[in-house]
Structure 1
Amino acid sequence: MAIVVKTLSEQAYEIIRERILSNDMQPDKPIRQDALSQTLGVSKIPLREALTRLEHDGLLISHPNRGFLVRPLTVNEAEDVFDLRLSLEPDAAAEACKKASDEQREKVKEIFIDLQNHADECSPEAVTVNSAFHLALTEMPDKPVTQVLLERLHLLSERYVRMHLEPPNREANAFREHQEIFDAWMARDGKAVKKLLKAHTKGTLEDLREQIPS
């Protein structure tokens, strides 16, 4: 196994990203880069690289006079992101389950087991595994543009998914739905995959409309 050495910028990115997903950094409050630099033990250059990357991910926004701020969660953005996912993801997963190689099917199975291990959690790790599971269902070598678009949408979805999983019993309900989607995908039942994934995504959006403050 190769040893992976992460740069200071990459380490700062991962720490700040986890804090944002954990709601430890409040939206619309300017990030004090001097204080954050000292807390993380990194200089301003790798810190700014990390913040710029997080802005590209859609987790931060920047203003000329206020610097970087955590992007607020809004119903409008949730509808935009999840509607786009609905237009791409169910069809892509339905097609991918029929084309999947043995290697791809094994990958989906391994990620599902990891998802099962996080079934009772509402943590940044659980949200990351959730995204990995959804993306593995749609992966097709001959559809790279679709995959890039879905990866971007899942980056924007992560904080909303974390919010969605906060109420009691949400994790259990989500895992039950993931189990049904996984079973249909492994059975190469594209019609069922499309139907289940649409219902799963629509249900998440409906819950978010009630959860996000107007």
Structure 2
Amino acid sequence: MTLAARKMQPLIVRSITDQLYGVLREQILSGALPAGQPIRQDTLAAEFNISKIPLRETLARLEQDGLVKAQPKRGYTVCELTSREAEDVFKLRLRLEPSAAAEAALLATAADQKTAQKALKELETAAKQHRTDLSNFNRVFHLSLVRPGAGRLTLHVIETLSVIAERYVRFHLHPLGRDTRANTEHREILAAWLERDALTVETLLVEHLQDTLEDLRTELDIKQPIKATLQPEA
């Protein structure tokens, strides 16, 4: 085997892992792999015609995202949606995201502003099309408001929280009209962000995230995890 061939192997494996990650992540977010569902590694390896090496890498990555968990002698299962985790995730977002977005508004370049505008436009288009992956567009928009001013560690933490929150956002947006309300709030936040009105950005984003948390408190059973399969947003 030539040196060039040896260098290409990790790229090929990474490509397989990335593709598998995208497929399994969407299946979990959509509810095709419901909460509590065991991940059958032998079945998946046979279905995708791959070895278990990229599959293990993918499952480790999904575990970091908080979407699956490893259990001794039982392998991996899809994590439950719980009110406790929703509280934890959104309270952390409330502590970090509004102030980070406010700072980013002051530091954003013209290119950063165009990126945020594009992200909102794509989110609104996805909402009109009733895309089942709407929460992904929502996450991209929120991160576009934070990225220009956040430090490396702060951004990493916010990105991680956003990934974990995505299933809850999808669950939250399911009732009719929620995506319309959310987009109205997004437009107000973006307008203030583009005007570099840091105080208003922080205030509006706190209200936006707090409203989502309040809705989730109502929808999620206080003591029991949600096990029902999620449905696409209406």
TM-score class, shorter-chain normalisation, is over 0.9
- Once residues 24 and 151 of structure 1 are traced to their aligned partners in structure 2, the CA distance between those partners, rounded to angstroms, is 24
Distance 2:148 2:179 in 1: 28
Match of 2:67 among 52, 59, 69: 59
> Partner of 1:133 in structure 2?
141
Supply the distance in 1 between the matched residues of 2:146 and 2:15 (Cα, whole angstroms). Answer: 31
Aligned-partner Cα distance in 2 for 1:174–1:207:
12
Structure 2 residue aligned with 1:161: 169
Deviation of the 1:141 alpha carbon: 5.3
- The reply on whether 1:37 has 2:29 as its aligned counterpart is no
TM-score (norm 2): 0.85
Change (3 A) 1:164 1:83: same
Distance 2:37 2:186 in 1: 35
Give the alignment of 1:117-128 within 5 angstroms.
117-120=125-128, 121=130, 123-124=132-133, 126-128=134-136
Which of 26, 46, 49 is the matching residue for 2:54? 46
Aligned to 2:179: 171
Structure 2: distance between partners of 1:40 and 1:166: 30
Conserved? CA contact 2:108–2:149, under 8 Å? no
Equivalent in the alignment of 2:83: 75
Partner letter of residue 98 of structure 1? L
Q: Which amino acid aligns with 1:137?
A: L
* Structure of higher RCO (CA pairs closer than 8 Å, 6+ residues apart): 2
User: Aligned equivalents of 2:96 and 2:150: distance in 1?
Assistant: 15
Question: Larger C-alpha radius of gyration, 1 or 2?
Answer: 2
> Counterpart of 2:6?
none
- How far, CA to CA, are the matches of 1:180 and 1:21 in structure 2? 27
Distance 2:213 2:183 in 1: 16
Identity of aligned residues (%): 42
Aligned length: 210
With normalisation by structure 1, the TM-score equals 0.93
* Cα displacement (A) at 1:142: 6.2
Identify the residue that residue 194 of structure 1 maps to in structure 2. Answer: 202
Q: Which residue of 2 aligns with 1:97?
A: 105
Is residue 86–residue 168 contact of structure 2 (8 Å, CA) maintained in 1? yes
Give the Å deviation of 1:94: 1.0
1:145 equivalent among 153, 158, 168: 153
Give distance in 2, aligned partners of 1:147 and 1:34. Answer: 36
Structure 2 counterpart SS, 1:42: coil
